[in-house]
Amino acid sequence: MKKNLITPVLSAVLAMGLLGSCVSTKKYEAALAENRSLVVLQDELNRQKAELESERARLQQDKERLNQEKAELEKDKASTEASLRTNLNTKSQQVDKLSADLQAREARLQEMQRILDQKDKAVNNLRQIVSNALLGFKASDLTVDVRNGKVYVSLSNQLLFKSGSTKVDAQGQEALKKLANVLQNQPDVNVLVEGHTDDVPVARGTAGMQDNWDLSVLRATEITRILTDAGVAPQRVTPSGRSKYVPVDPATTAEARQKNRRTEIILTPKLDELFQILEQN
């Protein structure tokens, strides 16, 4: 650019030389000064142009960088949205499954509660039927009550046996046969016969018995025979002996021992339907 400005000036100077002394020194100096100003101006223009080019290049780089960042952000946004949608769908499916499982469990619980309610109703009905069948016996000799969802028929040994004997007295046989008549009409009831003694050991030399275990088991077995001979299916009846280890009254008085000498016939409605539901769970 400087060469372009100097060339006209030189041409002017030559022209003035050709004209001779007609061009004054003052004008010549003015022309040189103007030429120097033009050179300075051209340099400033070139510098500013270079700065503008540099700024333009920097801005172009910034623009390209921003475009790249924008593209990356758009990509990240799309990836994040896709991930969120996937997670949301997964969570939604999990919630639906949990909801379905909860509804199924609630249905099973309702079914179990229905069966338990039926069982409780059956137990109370059974207690009433047994109580009606055994009316006329002393309350001290025979009681019927409900415990733990089962009907307990408790018969004192005073009603059933003589001291140390395993043979049931006539009055005890009458009570057992009445109970057997009831049980024949209750085919879904299992029967557990439990023999209990006091803490006084059996007399030495008692035939067939070493201790109170033998006494309690033999008495339970004898009662089982009476029930089954009277028509209760043997598959439903289980005899067992508890000896002295489950007393009603832990005291050692004569009254407490009399309470503890007893046979309990435990009647339990079958719960096959309920057990099937529990196995499914």
- Quick one: which of 171, 125, 177 has its CA closest to 151? 125
Amino acid letter, residue 266: I
> For the residues of 53-117, what is the DSSP string, one character each?
HHHHHHHHHHHHHHHHHHHHHHHHHHHHHHHHHHHHHHHHHHHHHHHHHHHHHHHHHHHHHHHHH
% of the chain exceeding 70 in pLDDT:
88
pTM of the model: 0.63
Element spanning 223, H or E: helix 212-229
Query: Which residue segments constitute the domains of the chain, with CATH numbers given?
Result: 37-280 (3.30.1330.60)
Q: What is the mean pLDDT of the chain?
A: 85
Tens of pLDDT, residue by residue over 62-82, are 888 888 888 888 888 888 888
- 92/72 Cα distance (integer angstroms): 29
pLDDT band at 121 (very low <50, low <70, confident <90, very high): confident
Residue 276 has pLDDT above 80, yes or no: no
Q: Which of 66-80, 122-136, 238-252 has the highest mean pLDDT?
A: 238-252
- Quick one: which of 215, 222, 220, 221 has its CA closest to 201? 215
Tens of pLDDT, residue by residue over 214-223, are 999 999 999 9
Tens of pLDDT, residue by residue over 33-55, are 878 888 888 888 888 888 888 88
Q: Which of 4-8, 140-144, 203-207 has the highest mean pLDDT?
A: 140-144
Across 138-148, average pLDDT: 91
Tens of pLDDT, residue by residue over 149-189, are 899 999 999 899 988 889 999 999 999 999 999 999 988 89
For residue 257, how many C-alpha atoms fall within 13 Å in the half-sphere facing its CB?
8
Amino acid letter, residue 273: E
% of the chain exceeding 90 in pLDDT:
45
